[in-house]
């Protein structure tokens, strides 16, 4: 009797296990089918062609990992939407190596401030200087109160922004970030839009290997001392390191260059940064793009402490976000732009915000 009861229970449990297993199998089968369907659409959308069956298998597995991250981020970050993008068949490591490229040199912030000493005498500096003087404090307060609750250079100026560009598989974000700020600055002051040569920065700022990454100071100093080709048509972007480095000697005679008088690293202060945007246009800024690959829209935030790996331009703000212009083409994010939260971990580093000076 006792034994019989026991075996009935065991059989019952076995039945439950088998049905559970069958459901799991069915679910796994459905999921896998869904993944294959999505992968097919993805390959079509982004014209992905793989050189072998093995590569395709690896890319499919990586794509499934990206789908998991998309689900996780959509659940965690309720203010933003994530979806399949051009980057969805790259591992996180590949993505960061191939499409970002901000490498902060191992020197102290103090060193960096001194490097930017050339700009210290410039008059642009004046309204960014905080003073302990009482009347100046009042003035500062008035300025802060007069800052609008939202701003977008695309609609509010100053000047015009160039269409979003695509750095491709080259860690040249630093070149796009700095030249983008210079283009915006020029447009703000002269009301003329430029397309400066990013490739020149990639080839000439460092001995070679600008696709391996770079940093703001080096690019701005170069534009200050050598100048940057005014019209990128004469030194076009090829999204890789040239086989031969810097091509300046091969440019046609009379090619025009644009030189800045200096640059400055802004104070880590929200109202200073906002005023600089309203007056001088886009700023160069360091960010953490680790979780940006599949960003689609909305206000991005992350729970992980940010690390610097990418550079973009800062072009505005809203009551609860900063507005950034990226260099991954206009099909990524909000037509090439991203909003990040202005509280908590946004992935931006306002202490690494730079502006050119002319």
Ligand X SMILES: *[C@@H]1O[C@H](CO)[C@@H](O)[C@H](O)[C@H]1NC(C)=O
Binding interface with ligand X (CB under 6 A):
114, 117, 120, 162-163, 165, 191, 195, 231-233, 236-237, 268, 350-351
Q: Give CA–CA dist 353/284, Å, rounded.
A: 6
Q: Give CA–CA dist 356/145, Å, rounded.
A: 26
Closer by beta carbon to ligand X, 52 or else 108: 108
Structure tokens at 188: 């703000």
Place of tokens 């690494």: 352
Closer by beta carbon to ligand X, 25 or else 117: 117
Closer by beta carbon to ligand X, 44 or else 319: 319
Q: Give CA–CA dist 165/97, Å, rounded.
A: 19
| Shortest reach from residue 230's CB to ligand X, in Å | 7
For residue 158, whether the previous peptide bond is cis, meaning omega lies within 30 degrees of 0, is: yes
Structure tokens at 241: 């390191």
Closest by CA to 86, choosing from 349, 332, 354, is: 332
Q: Strand, coil or helix: what is 199?
A: helix
Q: Strand, coil or helix: what is 244?
A: coil
| Shortest reach from residue 315's CB to ligand X, in Å | 15
Closest by CA to 314, choosing from 322, 305, 306, is: 322
| Shortest reach from residue 309's CB to ligand X, in Å | 17
Determine the straight-line distance between the first and last CA of the chain, rounded to whole angstroms: 96
**Helical H segments across the chain, by residue range:** 2-45, 53-76, 92-99, 109-115, 134-146, 153-156, 173-190, 198-204, 216-225, 270-280
Q: Give CA–CA dist 211/245, Å, rounded.
A: 12
Q: Strand, coil or helix: what is 166?
A: strand
| Shortest reach from residue 232's CB to ligand X, in Å | 4
Q: Strand, coil or helix: what is 103?
A: coil
Structure tokens at 305: 């402490």
Q: Cα angle at 103 between 208 and 113, to 5 degrees?
A: 105
Closer by beta carbon to ligand X, 162 or else 307: 162
Closer by beta carbon to ligand X, 165 or else 241: 165
Active site residues: 173, 310, 326
Closest residue to bound ligand X by CB: 236
Q: Do strands 295-300 and 337-341 pair parallel, antiparallel, or not at all (unpaired)?
A: parallel
| Shortest reach from residue 66's CB to ligand X, in Å | 28
| Shortest reach from residue 65's CB to ligand X, in Å | 32
Closer by beta carbon to ligand X, 66 or else 172: 172
Q: Strand, coil or helix: what is 169?
A: coil
Closer by beta carbon to ligand X, 56 or else 144: 144
């Amino acid at each position: 009797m006792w034994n019989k009861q026991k075996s009935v229970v065991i059989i019952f449990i076995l039945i439950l296990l088998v049905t559970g297993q069958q459901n799991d199998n069915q679910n796994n089968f459905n999921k896998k089918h869904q993944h294959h369907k999505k992968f097919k659409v993805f390959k079509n959308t982004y014209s992905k062609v793989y050189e072998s069956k093995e590569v395709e298998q690896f890319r499919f597995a990586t794509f499934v990992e990206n789908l998991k991250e998309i689900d996780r981020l959509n659940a965690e970050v309720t203010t933003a939407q994530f979806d399949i993008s051009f980057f969805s068949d790259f591992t996180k490591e590949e993505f960061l190596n191939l499409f970002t490229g901000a490498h902060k040199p191992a020197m102290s912030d103090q060193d960096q401030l001194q490097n930017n000493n050339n700009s210290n005498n410039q008059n642009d500096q004046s309204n960014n200087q905080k003073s302990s003087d009482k009347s100046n404090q009042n003035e500062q307060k008035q300025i802060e109160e007069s800052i609008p609750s939202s701003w977008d250079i695309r609609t509010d100026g100053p000047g015009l922004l160039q269409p979003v560009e695509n750095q491709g598989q080259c860690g040249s974000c630093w070149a796009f970030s700095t030249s983008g700020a210079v283009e915006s600055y020029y447009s703000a002051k002269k009301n003329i839009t430029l397309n400066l040569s990013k490739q020149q920065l990639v080839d000439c700022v460092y001995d070679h290997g600008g696709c391996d990454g770079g940093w703001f100071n080096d690019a701005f100093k170069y534009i200050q001392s050598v100048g940057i080709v005014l019209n990128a048509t004469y030194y076009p972007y090829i999204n890789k390191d040239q086989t031969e480095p810097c091509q300046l000697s091969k440019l046609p005679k009379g090619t025009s260059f644009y030189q800045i008088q200096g640059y400055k690293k802004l104070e880590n202060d929200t109202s200073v940064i906002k005023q600089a945007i309203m007056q001088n246009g886009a700023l160069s800024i360091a960010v953490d793009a680790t979780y940006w690959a599949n960003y689609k829209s909305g206000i991005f935030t992350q729970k992980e402490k940010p690390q610097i790996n990418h550079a973009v331009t800062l072009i505005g703000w809203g009551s609860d976000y900063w507005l950034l212009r990226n260099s991954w083409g206009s099909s990524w994010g909000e037509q090439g732009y991203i909003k990040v939260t202005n509280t908590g971990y946004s992935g931006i580093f306002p202490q690494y915000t730079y502006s050119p000076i002319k």
